[in-house]
Amino acid sequence: MRLMLDTCAYSAFMRGHVIIETYLRQAEQIVVNPIVLGELQAGFLGGAHRVKNDDLLRDFLSAPRVRIAPIDHETALRYAGILYSLQRAGTRIPTNDIWIAATAMQHGLRVLTTDTHFQRVAQILVEFCQPH
C-alpha cells in the first residue's frame, strides 16, 4: 500500500494515533507533498516545541520509505479537474486539501487522513481514520 499522508494524519501519528501508526507501519511507501510540509511548518512556528517538532519531522522524512512528491504541471491539471468536479457538485473543501488530493491522484496514492474533506473527492481513494 502506497499512502499520501495529509497534515492531520501526520499530527495524529505524532500524538500516538494507533490506527494511523498501523497504516504507516504497513505502507510500502509514504508520500507527503510541499503543501503538507508548509502546513506543518506553519503550525510549528507558533508552537512551544518548534525545534523538537522540526527534528521529528526531519527524522520522519529521512526514513527510507518516505518521499516528498513535487507539485508540477501534472498536479495542476489534476487540481483543476478536482476543483471543477467539486464546484459542479456544489461541494467546497479547503484549497490545500485539493492540492493534496491532486498529488495523491497523480501518483496513484491513497490519502491517509482524519479529515472528512477528502471523502468528498471522487477521484481519489481515502483511508479515513476517526480522530482521537
Return the domain boundaries, the chain. Answer: 2-128
Q: Look at residue 86 in the predicted model and tell me its pLDDT.
A: 97
Residue 55, classed as helix, strand or coil, is: helix
- Domain covering 2-128 in this structure, CATH number: 3.40.50.1010
Tens digits of residue pLDDT in 56-109: 999 999 999 999 999 999 999 999 999 999 999 999 999 999 999 999 999 999
Taking the whole predicted model, whether its pTM rises above 0.75 is answered as yes
CA 52 and chain centroid, separation? 21
